[in-house]
Amino acid sequence: MRSPALLLVLALAAAPAAAQSPGGEATAQAPGAVLRGLDKVAGATRDIRLAPGESANFGRLTITLTECRYPVANPAADAFAHVVIRDARLAEPVFRGWMIASSPALNALDHPRFDVWLIRCTTS
């Protein structure tokens, strides 16, 4: 049996602009997101606040938020965001996809030095 978080990722990949989650919950688009970055070598973390279309640098990474959505009935639960992460040393993005706040390891950035994960959508 597939987990609800996996179903959410599959549904988002098929229809990223859908207004309902796989469980039938209505979702809303948030005006932004909070992501957390970890430099595994330095041991430093930083919270990164982004609006859709905005980018921020974290070390040699450039993180761009495309969209953040959350369940209308419970904004603190299962926020999910589409992000693109580029490494200045590489031509192609190192990550492009949906991250889920409640299941950060489900679809994670695979980078030798940095970790980035979604904390929450901003709702105001």
Percent of the chain whose predicted confidence (pLDDT) is above 70: 80
Q: Torsions phi, psi of 12, nearest 5?
A: -65, -35
Give the position of tokens 């997101």: 33
Which pLDDT band, with edges at 50, 70 and 90, does 24 fall under?
low
Instruction: Tell me the average pLDDT across 30-50.
Output: 96
For residue 39, what pLDDT is reported? Answer: 96
The residue among 26 and 5 whose pLDDT is bigger is 26
pLDDT at 66 over 90: yes
- Top pLDDT among 106 and 15 is at 106
Picking from 28, 56, 38, 37, the residue whose alpha carbon sits closest to that of residue 122 is 28
Q: Which residue has the higher pLDDT, 9 or 69?
A: 69
* Distance, CA of 57 to CA of 40 (rounded, Å): 16
